[in-house]
Amino acid sequence: MSIVQLVDVHKTYPLGKTEVQAVKGVTFTIEKGDFVSIAGPSGSGKSTILNMIGCIDTATSGQVLINDVDTAGLTDRQITKLRHEVLGFIFQSFNLIPVLSVFENVEFPLLLGKDAPSRSERYRWVEFLIEDVGLSKWKDHKPNELSGGQRQRVAIARALATKPSIVMADEPTANLDSVTSQAIIELMKKMNRELETTFIFSTHDPDIIEIADHVIKLHDGQVLEDYKTDEVERGLGALTQDKEMA
Ligand code: ADP
Ligand code: MG
């Protein structure tokens, strides 16, 4: 089942008297439960695409569908609801609240929703998430007492708190060393398997691109390659593209 679909999406930004074509006719489908990397060099359009999927920005033309609904047709209220109930976000700069403990940071999104879970349910779920990302010992600490990798673990738990069906992460490892980067992507993959959450992360780091099971490579605002890594292992290669050409 497709959870995110882009159909011939273009995005143009005005730049003085001219314009920048950031995304030029991008089409791809992400299935529910996929673990996707949007890969490409700086300026290739990764953030623009993630921002359109996250409803932070809108396409100039083409369609961005979430759960088969064209996001262009949604009201501001529906977008707010979608962002709160369907989407979770992880940022390269972690964006934790410095005065709150690890536990409180993860709990925070659960205090905002209308149908917030009961206190005991909330505690159980937050404890579970913190344990799952390996931070039980740190739950009463503040973000500035943690390493970058540990902060990103908190951000992963926080993004999952509201049980979103899609977690978006724009270059989540940009501020981490290579060993920590791999560990963070592996943790996201573990959470993807356990909770069946769809993850979409962007990166320009070749070492972590292939940890994903679905790779969408961009170049200059266009899709260069779109393939499933398990199919590469089985020797099937870039299925999507072959199918389109057939
Ligand atoms: P990436 O995330 O892969 O580095 P971006 O999506 O940020 O790429 O940018 C794609 C292109 O669009 C780049 O040429 C960038 O300079 C341009 N761009 C991105 N955002 C804006 C903006 N707000 N105004 C003008 N140009 C932009
Ligand atoms: Mg970017």
CB-based burial of residue 114 (10 Å sphere; 0-12 exposed, 13-18 middle, 19+ buried)?
A: exposed
Residue with CA closest to ligand 1 atom 26: 13
User: Distance (Å, rounded) from C-alpha 207 to C-alpha 204?
Assistant: 9
pLDDT at 153 over 90: yes
For 186, other C-beta atoms within 10 Å of its C-beta total 12
Q: 102 and 154 in contact (C-beta within 8 Å)?
A: yes
Confidence of residue 245 (pLDDT cuts 50, 70, 90): very low
- Characterize 14-28 residue by residue with b for buried, 16 or more Cβ atoms within 10 angstroms of its Cβ, and e for exposed: eeeeeeeebbeebbb
Structure tokens at 129: 């998430």
User: Ligand 1, residues 12, 26, 48, 91: which to mutate, most atoms within 8 A of Cβ?
Assistant: 48
pLDDT at position 237 over 60: no
Encoding tokens for residue 235? 């020797």
Atom of ligand 1 nearest to the CA of 171: 2
Predicted confidence (pLDDT) at residue 114 exceeds the cutoff of 90:
no
Q: Average per-residue pLDDT in the chain?
A: 92
In this predicted structure, the answer to whether residue 236 has a pLDDT above a threshold of 60 is no
DSSP code string of 45-68 = SHHHHHHHHTTSS--SEEEEEETT
50 and 202 Cβ atoms separated by less than 8 Å: yes
Q: What is the Å distance from ligand 1's center to 22 Cα?
A: 6
* Interval between CA 127 and ligand 2 midpoint (Å): 32
Distance 80 CA to ligand 2 centre (A): 23
Judge if pTM exceeds 0.75.
yes
pLDDT digits (tens, 9 = 90+) for 15-42: 999 999 999 999 999 999 999 999 999 9
Q: Measured between alpha carbons, how far is 128 from 69 in angstroms, rounded to an integer?
A: 32
Of 240 and 115, the structure prediction assigns the larger pLDDT to: 115
User: Whole-angstrom Cα distance, residue 164 to residue 237?
Assistant: 31
Of 38, 37, 159, 149, which is closest to residue 90 (Cα–Cα)? 159
